[in-house]
């Protein structure tokens, strides 16, 4: 499960990062140009690399699970930004929370398939 998480979330984040640069810059009610798009691209490339090479997939899911859950919580607290740096929206916070919680689940409680790290 961690491998699929890293692959799929990685690809989706790469696509979102590209959309942020070539699109209008607004996605799910948040302005995602600039730093937000760069973060999506970098985290997407890292996750996709882990997922497709099978390298540290459990650790990758754990780290991104913690980070994206934290980003969601900070987004809910901050309203329209995460620590005043990254634009967000309520819907985007929910997406970050879902990505984070799934990462936590597959990283920490994903079962025997996760023995390969």
CA 18 to chain centre: 14
Residue 114's pLDDT is: 43
Nearest to 76 by CA among 58, 64, 94: 94
Would you say 10 and 49 are in contact if contact means Cβ atoms under 8 Å apart? Answer: yes
**pLDDT tens track for 29-71:** 556 667 778 888 999 999 999 999 988 999 999 999 999 999 8
Would you say 61 and 117 are in contact if contact means Cβ atoms under 8 Å apart? Answer: no
Would you tell me how many other CB atoms lie within 10 Å of the CB of residue 90? 14
CA–CA separation, 70 vs 100, rounded Å? Answer: 8
The top-scoring range by mean pLDDT among 7-11, 24-28, 69-73, 95-99 is 7-11
């Amino acid at each position: 499960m961690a491998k699929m998480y890293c692959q799929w979330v990685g690809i989706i984040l790469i696509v979102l990062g590209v959309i942020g640069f070539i699109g209008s810059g607004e996605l799910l009610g948040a302005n995602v140009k600039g730093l937000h798009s760069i973060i999506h691209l970098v985290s997407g490339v890292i996750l996709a690399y882990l997922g497709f090479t099978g390298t540290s997939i459990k650790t990758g899911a754990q780290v991104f699970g913690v980070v994206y859950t934290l980003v969601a919580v900070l987004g809910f607290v901050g309203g329209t930004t995460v620590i005043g740096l990254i634009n967000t929206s309520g819907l985007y916070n929910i997406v970050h929370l879902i990505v984070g919680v799934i990462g936590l689940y597959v990283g920490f409680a994903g079962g025997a398939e996760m023995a390969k790290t």
